[in-house]
Each structure stands twice: as C-alpha cells, then as structure tokens.
Structure 1
Amino acid sequence: MGSALPLLRRDLAESRWGLVGWASGLAVFAGLYLPLFPTFGGRDSQLAELIRSLPPALVKTLGYEDIVSGAGYAQSTFFGLMAFALTAFAAVSWGSAAIAGAEESGRLELTLAHGVSRARHVLESALSVLVRVAGLALVAVLLVLALDGPSQLGLAPAHVAAAGVSLAGLAVLTGAASLAAGAATGRSRWATSAGAIIAFGGYGTNAVANQSPDLDWLHALSPYAWAWRGAPLEAGWDVPGLLALWGTGAVLVGAAVWLLDRRDLRP
C-alpha cells in the first residue's frame, strides 16, 4: 500500500470494463435520441402540436415545456433523462461497493489491516467515484458536441460543458449518499437505497414541484432541480445550483469519514 493513491488505482483498474459499458450506454442513447431532433424539432413541428395538445400540468411534470428547441430537446431526452439515469445508477453502484460492499465481503478489514486509515479509505473511494463520474460526464459532453451539428441542435459548447458539470455534480452527490449510508450501516442495501432516494426521489420531487406555483418551494429540496432548473444548456453556468450539488456532496463525504471512524466493522 506504499504507492500513491493505491485504492484509487485499484478501483479504476477493476472497474475499467464496467466504465466502458456505462459509456457505451451513453453513446447508444445519444445516438438514438439526438439525431431525431430535425424530424421533431421546431415550433411548427408535429411534436410541438403534440405537446400543445397535452394537459399543461403533464407537460410541466415531464419537463417538456421547451422540448421543441435544440437545448430543450437535448435536456429532456438526454441530459435530464437517460444520461442522468445511467450516471446515477453507476454512481450508486460504485458508492455502495466502496464501503458497504467491501465490508460485507471482508475486503475492508483486509485493506485497513495493511495500514490504510479509515479516513483515507473513504477519501480515496470518494475520489474514485468522482474520477469515474467525471469520465462519464466528459463522454456525455463529447457525444453531444459531436452530434450537435448533424442533429441541428444549435448548442453553445460552453453551455454543453456547463450541463456536463451539472450532470457530474448530481451523480457525485448520489454516489456520496451511498458512500455515507454505507459508512453508517455497512450494508449494501441501505447504501443503494440512500443513493436511489437522492437520485430518483429528487426527480420525483422536482416533478411534483412543477405541478403548481404553490409547490415551487419543493424545488429547493430536489437535487435534480439544483442540477437542471437553471437550464444550463440554454443559459449556461448555474452557480447556485452547482454549489448546492457539489457542496452537499462534499458534506456527505465528510460525514462518511466521521461515521466510518466511529463504528465497529462487521462481516
């Protein structure tokens, strides 16, 4: 364990093919959805007519208010839907395996027996999740930039980058929740549940908040809203939303350090 960042290096080596699989999933969905925009996009398109025929509450729930623009279409079909789901699932699986999975398998005790502190294990595990999530977010950004011209989306590269950072922040927060729950309980089922609640509970809370102005306050409770309510693909960098995502993720990692340091390990 004398080499620099041994846990990070091990995690990246062991998960490289899984990372390729997640990235391939992003490529598949980007290739399926984005090139369809020239067929469906535009204010006078069939899609626009369909959206106008739907109940306004349903349109707001689905986040389809601006789906007929290039930015709205890429947000609704890719960044805010499939890319979000894939990166969230990946982050939850990595965060759950890092502490809870390692503890259940006995690997955590073996690692600590080799002179790695609990705090170091948590921090390197969090860094491992961050690096892999950043890799997926970068793939998503590059895919959208590559398909922007052929798909006639008309996106600004800086805005695509902003959306990538929001996507990464949301996934990192999700993974950090799994990491903290794993540190608190040592059980994968609880770690996975915590990450899923953050990701998909946040999605549901955002959908409910979109129903009525009276429920607008719920947006403040939804990490999904922190990431996307500022419409980074259209408006660019949403600093308050990014601070909420990345700041809460950092707090959860700090909580994981504290929780693991104060708990007896169990097989």
Structure 2
Amino acid sequence: MTAVASASASGPTLPVLRRQILDGWRGVAGWSTGIAGVILIYLPLFPSMQSPELAGMIDSLPPELVRTLGYESITTGAGYAQSTFFGLLGFALITIAGISWGAAPTAGAEESGQLELTLAHDVGRVRYCLESAAALVVKLITVGAAGYVVVWLVNDPAGLELNAANLLAVSLAWVGLGLLAGTAAFAVGAATGRRTLAIGAGAAWAVVGYILQAVANNSEDLDWLRTLSPIEWAYGNAPLATGFDWAGLALLWGGSAVLIALATLALALGRAPRRLRRATQDQLGRRRTSDPCA
C-alpha cells in the first residue's frame, strides 16, 4: 500500500518527455512527410542520370566545383543519393528541424513563460533538461527512420543498388548532423534564454561546417580544415558506399552528448528563469522611476 501511494505521489514516468512527444507528433509527421517527398522527387531520377552526356558535363566542370558539390561519384547509386539527398536537401531539412526542436524547450519555453510553469510543478531543472534532450533525440531518430524506409523502398525501382547496412550507416550520420545542430541550439537556449540566439547558434554551426568543408575541398594547403567540419565527420569516409565510420559517428553523437551536458549545467545553475529575473528587474526599475526618493 505504501509503495502504491509512493508511486502515485511521484506522478507519471518521464512527464516532460511524454508531453513533448505528444505535443510534437504533428511536427514530426510533417517533417517526415516533407523528407519523404524530397526523396520521392529526386532519387527515382537516377536512371536518367546514367548517361555519357552527364558524365561528360561533370568532367567539363572545374574539379574544385565538383568536389564542393559532392559530384565525384554522382553516376553511382550511392554517390547520387549522397550528393542529392543526404549531403544537400536532406542535410538542410534535418538541420532546420533539429534547430527548431532544440531551441523550443529551452529558449522558446523561457520566453513564453512555459518553463516557469513546468518547473513549478515539481519538475527539477536537470530532469527537465534531460527529458527535453531525450525528446529531441526521439524526434530526430523518428524522422531519420522515416527517411531510411523511404530510401530503401525507392532503392530497387530506381536502380540505386544501395546496401541496407550502409544505408543505416549514412542515416545515423545524417541524424547525427541534425542532432548536433539541435543540441547547439538547445545549449545556447539554456544558457541565454534567447530564442534568436539559440537558432542563430544552430544555423551558424551548419553554415560554418559547410564553409570549412568547401574551403578544404578547394585548397590543398587548407585541407586540414575538413577535420573541424561536422560534415566531414558524417560523410568524409562515404558511409553510403563504404559502411560505418565509427570515429565520425562518435564525434557527432558524442559532441551532442557534451552539448546536452553543458545545457543541463547551464539550466541547473540558474536560480530562477531568466524571464522571471528580467521581469523582476524591470519592475524594480519602474518603481525607482516612479519614486524619486527611492
């Protein structure tokens, strides 16, 4: 009886995670549908790309441009899927989704006042942060799984000749890119309480990573810059063609874990939500202004 009462008093298991998953299922469905649409538009075009004319056109392009666009192996199924989806549109979509979902539970919740209400219901800061991060991971893995399934369904009809294990390897790297961008926004949101700064941090991560990769592809002297690019961590060893790159996956997923830990620390050290502190400061400022003797 005591155990039952204790369990009842403790409330539902993982309330923050469950609430964010339930509230966000429409967004997950929308992003999954959009990604499926992009795959169904581009990957079935592969047979028409296997022509001498296309190969000749690519050969006529500057080698630096070909490397920047990732077109070195576009005439193969793995190279085509990598250059058109995983390295381009798929990368952009999962990065945007990750940043949006990462900024919402920290900076977004604080600016809207939702964070104060949640913490007032016996939810500790550390618990809130960890369950919110878990919700981010679950959402991105769900989208990644949807992308995997659709690519695999298109594989045989489009003649891509992809390997199931290699497709899993590149899907984990792809989701890892979105997660790293999302946790960057998550951490900056926890530290600053500003949604614009959180979104900016995630976007800056993606842009800087792409620029580092492009510069490294175009300069032998600066080739070392690719080691700093998360895009290189994800796709540098062509996982769709060669299989799992465990070192790259460790950097992507391990880096995300570090950012989650930093976000948890930043939120845990805050004595009160920044929005509440700012409101209190504004109120004190108005009192001083209205009371010249203060």
Q: TM-score, normalised by structure 1?
A: 0.97
| Partner deviation per Cα, 1:153-175 (whole Å, 9 max, x = no partner) | 11111000101110111111111
| Structure 2 residue identity aligned to 1:106 | G
Are 1:253 and 2:260 counterparts? Answer: yes
The Cα offsets for residues 101-134 of structure 1, whole Å up to 9 and x where unpaired, read as: 0000111011111111111111011100000000
Asked if 1:266 corresponds to 2:274, the answer is yes
- Cα separation, 2, equivalents of 1:98 and 1:8: 11
Task: Summarize the alignment of residues 127-138 of structure 1 with structure 2, pairs less than 5 Å apart.
Answer: 127-138=134-145
Structure 1 segments, 4+ long, off by >6 Å, are: none
**Aligned: 1:4 with 2:13:** yes
CA deviation after TM superposition for structure 1 residue 266, in Å: 2.2
Q: Distance in 2 between matches of 1:11 and 1:23?
A: 17
Tell me the residue number matched to 1:120: 127
Alpha-carbon deviation of 1:15?
A: 1.1
Larger mean CA deviation between 111-120 and 193-202 belongs to 193-202
**1:29-52 deviation digits (Å, cap 9, x = unpaired):** 1011101100002xx532211111
Instruction: Give the gaps of 5 or more residues in structure 2.
Output: 1-9, 276-294
> In structure 2, which of residues 38, 45, 54 is the aligned counterpart of residue 47 of structure 1?
54
Q: Name the structure 1 match of 2:280.
A: none
Structure 1 spans left out of the alignment, 5+ residues: none
Which residue does the alignment assign to 2:78? 71
Q: C-alpha displacement at 1:220, in angstroms?
A: 1.3
Cα displacement string for residues 204-233 of structure 1 (whole angstroms, at most 9, x for unaligned residues): 211111112221111111111111111010
Structure-2 separation of matches of 1:159 and 1:45: 27
- Matched residues, percent identical? 49
CA distance in 1, matches of 2:182, 2:205: 9
Q: Which amino acid aligns with 1:3?
A: P
Give 2:220's aligned residue: 213
- Separation in 2 of the partners of 1:83 and 1:45? 27
Q: CA deviation at 1:25?
A: 0.8
Structure number with greater Rg is 2
Report the TM-score when normalising by structure 2.
Answer: 0.88
Describe the SS at the equivalent of 2:126. Answer: helix
1:113-262 → structure 2 map (5 Å cutoff):
113-262=120-269
Q: Which residue of 2 aligns with 1:20?
A: 29
Distance in 2 (CA, whole Å) between partners of 1:198 and 1:58 is 22
Give the partner amino acid of 1:127.
A
Q: How far apart are the structure 1 equivalents of 2:187 and 2:54?
A: 43
Give the Cα–Cα distance (whole angstroms) in 1 for the partners of residues 86 and 94 of structure 2: 10
What's the RMSD between the two structures over aligned residues?
Answer: 1.1
Q: Single out whichever of 204-213 and 238-247 deviates more from structure 2.
A: 204-213
1:79: Cα distance to partner? 1.0
AA in 1 matched with 2:258? V
**Partners of 1:132 and 1:35 in 2: how far apart?**
27
Shift of the alpha carbon at 1:83?
1.3
**Are positions 1:107 and 2:114 aligned together?**
yes
